[in-house]
Structure 1
């Protein structure tokens, strides 16, 4: 059995009934996103939380690719000098994601230029992947499959000579600009064209699957495609903060995720099932994130009540642990620009208040841990 070959150009067509189902889900998700936006706007920990969620997204996205590192591993590794290959891969992802967020904030549109720039960061220090072509579209045929033989391929993407045309088609689609490649015939009585004017959530689902199917790089396509989900929702102003992190939900159903992605390819694509699945993942993600944010805000407030000192340096040290749940005295001192003795005294106050834990058996280089925050970030919502 030969693998599925290629993918069509955008836009795509679904039935009127399918479009109605999708837009009903979109309305529900946007209600959840509206609540999340409001909570982020008023939360005392939104900037700290975004950094932790960015790290969690980086972990989950690389786990989809097969790394074994966990969120807890990454938190612990912040105090270490020698890091494993998997940890370096997560750090690469986080660096590329953070750079992409800044570029979008500064008005740079999603384009081949941006994608190549971020891919170079993503693959620059990669241990597992192919670094020689970092930041460049592939010049040869590639394929997806369980072995290194093309005859075993599950999917064979478009040829390298077609990447330019396909990425131009995708770039115009992402940026809601009309392009000559968009012309398609469809039955207006029973079908809907999901073109460049479609809802942002639906377009994000389509963009991700299309990018993955073009598979423009030799390696790193999955990770790059999931970074684009975050950037596209920011560019379209779907959410005010860069927290549209859906990789955790996709990782939970990895086999289904890959099966449905493969389903949009070839001569008889099933785009509805993929978009429907992606929207469900977005709904779960937004609800889960809202609960996490509410719980973490409550934890921060509880800590301030225990400290009971307005504008105290201990307050600032407490909030520092929301960025670095595993933290040393020197890290706090450097981050806040305070004396080491002041940092140590403040951290020990938090230990006495049972807000942090520390290994009392160690004499030097003690690590202070905000376990309550880590538990809330790791909590799985059912």
Structure 2
């Protein structure tokens, strides 16, 4: 593992244990939760996200806060911690389901709608105009995807293809993008050949175009280029915390 990633994982563990809200662990939690939720339509700002993470409160605001946005932001913080706790484990269906559970178990709207929490979808869903795997096929397709992934030599291109295929399956009723992007961060943190990164909301259109390119042409060129760019951005941001 690269020296940078060894340092990063060590700081994550130390700062989390100390409830440190001033280092790279807090920066990464806030940045990932804000951007990943924002890509999915969250209305919370970076400042509001930081306040939730730092002390569990929201600043006084003349506008209303959407309960779902707050619940999903808190769920994302929990999902990140679960990812850290299980970093040494093999990526499995059960691990992915538990990540989804951490993200969604506190979301009232999803429970009220009867969505499966921590389990595969029970109803068909679409990505815009694109159909995804039917509920009856999800388990088979996820097994095939993971079997394929674990046989590959890890590279950013393989990770890009894994993500694009995962999003095409769309295994959960909601929260697919956020669990998928957490898997990206996890696997890129875990394997020597990869560099960790966060997909930024500023690059949302490029990200969606990359997923579209895979659905229509089975290519990951755009997605791979974006991931490499985001890896460099995250690495440079982390340099601030290295003394």
Q: Same fold (TM over 0.5)?
A: yes
Q: Which of 239, 245, 251 is 2:197 aligned to?
A: 245
Residue 218 (structure 2) pairs with residue 271 (structure 1): yes
Where does residue 18 of structure 2 map in the other structure? none
The alignment status of 1:60 with 2:35, answered yes or no, reads yes
Shift of the 171–231 alpha-carbon distance from structure 1 to 2, 3 Å rule, reads same
Structure 1 residues 114, 82: CA separation in 2 closer, same or farther (over 3 Å shift)?
A: same
**CA deviation map 1:338-371 (0-9, x unaligned):** xxxxxxxxxxxxxxxxxxxxxxxxxxxxxxxxxx
Could you report, residue by residue, the CA deviation over 1:246-303 in whole angstroms, capped at 9, with x for unpaired residues?
A: 221xx223223223313322xxx4233xx222232233223223332333446xxxxx
Bigger drift between 225-234 and 128-137 goes to 128-137
Contact 1:157-1:213 within 8 A present in 2 as well: yes
1:103-160 Cα offsets, whole Å, 9 max, x none, are 123xx21111111111111111124545641011122322223xxxxxxxx1111222
- SS in structure 2 at match of 1:114: helix
Matched with 1:232 is 187
TM-score for both structures, normalised by structure 2: 0.79
Shift in Å at residue 237 of structure 1? Answer: 3.5
Matches of 1:118 and 1:208 in 2, distance apart? 15
- Of 82, 87, 96, which aligns to 1:104? 87
**264, 289, 293: which one pairs with 2:238?**
293
* Matched length: 225
Alignment map for 1:362-381 (pairs within 5 Å): none
Alignment pair present for 1:49 and 2:24? yes
Find the residue that maps to 2:87 and give its secondary structure.
Answer: helix
Q: Is the 8 A contact 1:39 1:290 kept in 2?
A: no
| Pair 1:71–1:162, CA change in 2 (3 A) | same
1:104–1:80 CA distance, 2 compared to 1 (3 A): closer
**Superposition TM-score, scaled by structure 1 size:** 0.52
Question: Are 2:106 and 1:125 aligned?
Answer: yes
Is 1:93 the equivalent of 2:79? no
Q: CA RMSD in A?
A: 2.9
1:286 partner SS: helix
Structure 2 gaps, min length 5: 16-22, 60-64
SS in 2 for 1:93: helix
Residue pair 2:33, 2:76 contacting (<8 A) in 1 also:
yes
More helix by share: 2
Q: 2:146 aligns with which of 141, 157, 171?
A: 171
2:210 corresponding residue in structure 1? 260
| Alpha-carbon distance in structure 2 between the residues aligned to 1:40 and 1:52 | 12
1:201 is displaced (CA, Å) by 1.1
CA contact (8 A) 1:215 1:221 kept: yes
Query: 1:252/1:81 Cα in 2 relative to 1: closer, same or farther (>3 Å)?
Result: closer
Q: Which residue of 1 aligns with 2:62?
A: none
- Hey, what does 1:141 align to over in structure 2? 124
- Bigger radius of gyration, 1 or 2? 1
- The C-alpha deviation readout for 1:222-246, integer Å capped at 9, x for no partner, is 111111101222343445xxx8232
Match of 1:74 among 40, 43, 49: 49
CA distance in 1, matches of 2:143, 2:225: 29
Compute the displacement of 1:211 (Å).
0.8
Query: Unaligned regions of 5+ residues in structure 1, if any?
Result: 1-32, 146-153, 177-195, 299-382
1:124 and 1:131 in contact (8 A); partners too: no
C-alpha change, 1:135 and 1:282, in structure 2 (3 Å) is same
Which structure has the higher relative contact order (CA within 8 Å, separation 6+)?
1
Partner of 2:20 in structure 1?
A: none
